[in-house]
Amino acid sequence: MLQEVRVGFLPELKDSRGEEILYEIRHALGIRSVNRIRTVKVYRFEGISAEAARFLAERLLCEDVFQEYRLNAPLVTDADRLVEVAYRPGVMNPEAGSLLKAAADLGIAGLRAADSSMEYAFYGGLGDEELELILRRLLVNETIQHVVTEKPKTLLLGGEPGRTEIIPIREMTDEELLGLSRDRLFLNLEEMRLIQQHFRELGRDPTDAEVEVLAQTWSEHCVHKTFKARIIVDGVEKKPFLTRLREATARVARKDLVLSAFVDNSGVMAFYEGWALCGKVETHNAPSAIEPYGGAATGSGGVFRDIMGTGQGAKVIASTDIFCFAPPDTPAAAVPPGCLHPHYLLRRVVAGVRDYGNRMGIPTNNGSVHFHPDFRAKPTVIVGAYGLIPAAQAQKGWPVPGDAVVVVGGRTGRDGIHGATFSSAAMTDRTQSVNAQAVQIGHPIEEKRMADALLVARDEGLIRAITDCGAGGFASAVGEMGAETGARIYLDRAPVKYSGLAPWEILLSESQERMVAAVAPENLPRFFEICREHNVEATVLGEFTATGRFEAYYGDEKVLDLTMDFLHHGLPQRLLTCSYRDPAPQEDPDVPLPQDWEETCCRVLAHLNVCSKEPIVRVYDHGVQGTNALPPYGGVRGDGPNDAVVLTPLLGKPYGMIIAHGLNPVLNRIDPYWGGLWAATEAVANAVAVGANPEELVLIDNFIWPVPEGEFLAQLDRAVDACVDFSVALGLPFISGKDSLSSTYRGRGTVIHIPPVLCVSVFGRVPDVGKTVSADLKEPGSLLVLVGERREEEMGGSVYYDLHGALGKNIPRINLARLRETLGALHRAIGAGMVRACHDISEGGLLAALAEMCFGGELGAAIEIPAALRPDFFLFNETAGCFVVELEPEADPALLFAGLPCRVLGRTLAAPELRVLQSGRPLFAVPLERLRAAYCRPMKEVFGA
């Protein structure tokens, strides 16, 4: 008999989860008939008595200060509608394992299984169609969840393992090959023919496991076919994208700074006193598009494991999040079939990143959110992580024959299957129904335990090599680690969440919180002892061999036997051709001068690409490890944004780590070369604005692009050239990167391409965090100076143009030689203690940067615009690599920034207003509170802050 415990908030108290859902119902769906929602957690236990269940309710599940419970009885009896939603049988429920462990720790014997679900009690005149819409759009992802209509009789899942199938590929027609590939493999006809020919030569047909492993290994996500392809642009053959980036890095990287680049799960740079820093930035666009909470959460978990799988294992010390969505007020009719509303996507993606990072105790302390209507089908969800590792253990490790293949962490299930292949394809109106099993279910507490255990094992020298089970699961982890040797694994040894998995599913599953380590046999006893101490499951899955083959067994049956050579080198280099054509309009708009300057300034600050993102930042614990020397927001009220985060990862030491990034998808719509330079410039400018030495920084690239065909491939070529030119001109190496080239939606006659995204992340070291600065103004009477080269008429892609419904053509063009000089001079001035505050110019231009500095310092400012310049262009130009600097009243800017473009703007004021003059006459003055209200309103409306 199952025991049921229902737990909910006391009726007189606010139900925070219910309030959140009610907000979504009203704002995302426009349903007003619901006036209250209560939520009730339902726990089910099998194998224990009612008294034991009552004991768990009172000791574990219910906090009687604000909650109540019922045992084997309803908790809510007065609702107009009551619906229970649970994970489908066989889908991993992260709470189940924790319930079993906690019960055992409390001495409860005989518990065989546990599960949890959620009841939603609706109050109000909710109709059937409205309820169905709420369930379908907000509460139930139908491929992993269901509405419970009948109480389960048992929680134990049984089933025979699926059989290994032989795929008769040798005799398939081209049409049959494409049919096999369409929803499962995502390979093109040429690639399917190569597999067919290989098995014809072997004289046998492949197993389903062999076909699946080849598809995963050859997927765009895993092998980066486009970035490794030969490419002909306008009739001229150029080096592959990845080759260009690597050659640029090899040309500029200092051996004393860059310890590892493009060869491991993350790039590594030297820190201080024998330590190193590592960084990786990933995307989780496709999973987040169909299940935003789980997709974003497991994106964070996956990039954390990239850090944990660097060298012999690094500690994760920081998390970043960078998102691109359609505006939250997008009309429902504009959202394509099979897609979720951007208002809901934004809130749930933020919640996923929040919960994973906070629960693991990893600070999320750098990020941004960007908006454009063409992200309404597929958002861009970028997650990054940074780590600390002993420099001596920072080099990628490789197994030797005889090492054990050890899987550590979570169990394997059906969740996450086809994640690598699915994320390599364009999104369609069928994606949510066909590919939702590719969304993984995260369990951050499991990952936290595993991370702690692996650090102990690393420090004791027990790990020869390690990597995470990312895209492709065991197939990718073991296949890549054993690429130069060989590997043999036994899939029936893998700990599974439930029975009934086919061998190929165990091999390809992307279930979360798993790592694979190469451990010498003599080190296994101590390795397992450490895992037991941390309550982490570890199993020997097989061994690395010297055969040069990837072999997998299930019992006595061999289900996989491929040469590593064909697996990793059988895919021929692609040859891609394209021609570049200017996607921009031919003329800049004729924009009149503002009639109401105050209103215009408020509209700029309220623009979604300028406004405060503080309601998002505040749900992240950005100080959890005690290392945060400069937070995302600072100043008197804590609402002034800083340009970068500064950490002290070695507690008690003055050494600092700086993390920043830059991107502007709108500019790439006009010119991806100059837009790419803008993104890289913005990233480095953000870092230097807080005190980073531009010679002590390294870069990470992330290209998130429409399917790279035709003009989009040519645009990608220009963006790569921008990265290469930037790297060489500034002497800054790219040491890691990622491409995600499937952000196109095709469905029911609609094609939507996202604005191409190039996100450049930067991290680096400073010897003393005491010599960094924040963006908030410090004193009245200070000198305000504009530093950096810009041409005010270059307004293309600006927020100001967007307010007039225009895009423009003439976008900011960065002078790289002058930029390098400017960054160096600014760093020297900050290091000498001459700079009180500094803020770089980006979206919104000078006006937005100055307003943000005023918000932080609770000070006003008075500036004067030169007579010969258009005042609106002067205030709203968005040239990156320019800075507003606060200096002491007696400072000499011409001396401090000798030979560089430098203009005295004015001075700070004690009065809380922003005054602007031109030719000595007042142009306008606006109270800071009016600007602040406009700046804060948009995200408060979305998040109810």
How many domains does the chain divide into?
2
Asked whether the CA dihedral 690, 693, 698, 701 is positive or negative, the reply is positive
Q: What is the DSSP pairing of strand 835-840 with strand 783-787?
A: unpaired
- The Cα-based distances of 535 to 447, 449, 459, 469 in angstroms read 11, 7, 18, 19
695 found inside a domain: no
Burial of 175 (0-12, 13-18, 19+ CB in 10 A): exposed
* Contacts with 502 (C-beta within 8 Å, 6 or more apart), sequence order: 161, 162, 163, 164, 208
CA atoms of 353 and 305, how far apart (whole Å): 15
pLDDT band at 420 (very low <50, low <70, confident <90, very high): very low
Residue corresponding to tokens 């998040």: 943
Q: Which residues participate in catalysis according to the annotation? A: 221, 284
Residue-wise pLDDT for 104-124, tens only, equals: 999 999 999 999 999 999 999
The enclosing H or E element of 837 equals strand 835-840
Give the model's pLDDT for residue 945.
Answer: 57
Give the model's pLDDT for residue 222.
Answer: 78
> Residue 424 pLDDT more than 70?
no
425 versus 630: the higher-pLDDT residue is 630
Angle at alpha carbon of residue 382, lines to 816 and 327, rounded to 5°: 95
CA atoms of 182 and 173, how far apart (whole Å): 14
Asked whether the CA dihedral 487, 493, 498, 500 is positive or negative, the reply is positive
Look up residue 595 and give its two tokens: 């009639």
Query: Is there a contact between 531 and 453 (Cβ–Cβ < 8 Å)?
Result: yes
Q: Which CATH number do you get for residue 831?
A: 3.90.650.10
91-100, 376-385, 626-635: the lowest-pLDDT one: 91-100
Q: Quote the strand ranges of 429-544, DSSP E.
A: 465-468, 487-490, 514-519, 538-544
> Residue 80 pLDDT more than 90?
yes
Q: Cβ–Cβ contacts within 10 Å for residue 915, how many? A: 17
Give the model's pLDDT for residue 439.
Answer: 59
The enclosing H or E element of 830 equals helix 816-831
Residue-wise pLDDT for 853-869, tens only, equals: 999 999 999 999 999 99
Query: Is there a contact between 518 and 541 (Cβ–Cβ < 8 Å)?
Result: no
Tell me the percentage of the chain whose pLDDT exceeds 70.
96
Residue-wise pLDDT for 127-136, tens only, equals: 999 999 999 8
Residue corresponding to tokens 């929680």: 155
Residue-wise pLDDT for 669-701, tens only, equals: 999 999 999 999 999 999 999 999 999 999 999
Q: What is the DSSP pairing of strand 913-918 with strand 860-865?
A: parallel
219 found inside a domain: no
927 found inside a domain: yes
Which residue from 758, 765, 897 is spatially nearest to 823, judged by alpha carbons?
897
50 found inside a domain: yes
Picking from 132, 147, 162, the residue at the C-terminal end of a domain is 147
> Residue 489 pLDDT more than 80?
yes
Residue-wise pLDDT for 705-758, tens only, equals: 999 988 999 999 999 999 999 999 999 999 999 999 989 999 878 999 999 999
Picking from 147, 168, 200, the residue at the C-terminal end of a domain is 147
The domain of 19 spans 2-147
Q: Which residues pair with 543 in a beta bridge?
A: 404, 488
Picking from 127, 147, 167, the residue at the C-terminal end of a domain is 147
Where is the binding site for ATP, in residues?
280, 701, 737
According to DSSP, residue 771 is labeled G
Buried b (16+ CB within 10 A) or exposed e, 405-433: bbbbbbbbbbbbbbbbbbbbbbbbbebbe
Q: Which CATH number do you get for residue 75?
A: 3.30.1280.10
According to DSSP, residue 610 is labeled T
Residue-wise pLDDT for 50-74, tens only, equals: 999 999 999 999 999 999 999 999 9
Give the model's pLDDT for residue 29.
Answer: 83
609 found inside a domain: yes
Query: Is there a contact between 363 and 628 (Cβ–Cβ < 8 Å)?
Result: yes
Tell me the percentage of the chain whose pLDDT exceeds 90.
84
- Most confident by average pLDDT, 22-26, 92-96, 685-689: 685-689
216 found inside a domain: no
Where is the binding site for Mg(2+), in residues?
282, 306, 468
Residue corresponding to tokens 């380590």: 517
Burial of 542 (0-12, 13-18, 19+ CB in 10 A): buried
Rounded average pLDDT over 370-397: 97
Query: Is there a contact between 876 and 799 (Cβ–Cβ < 8 Å)?
Result: yes
Where is the binding site, in residues?
280, 282, 305-306, 440, 468, 510-512, 701, 737, 740
797 found inside a domain: yes
The angle that helices 174-182 and 189-202 make with each other, rounded to 10 degrees, is 110
Where is the binding site for substrate, in residues?
305, 440, 510-512, 740
Give the model's pLDDT for residue 423.
Answer: 43
Q: Which amino acid is at 6?
A: R
439 found inside a domain: no
Give the model's pLDDT for residue 585.
Answer: 66
> Residue 944 pLDDT more than 90?
no
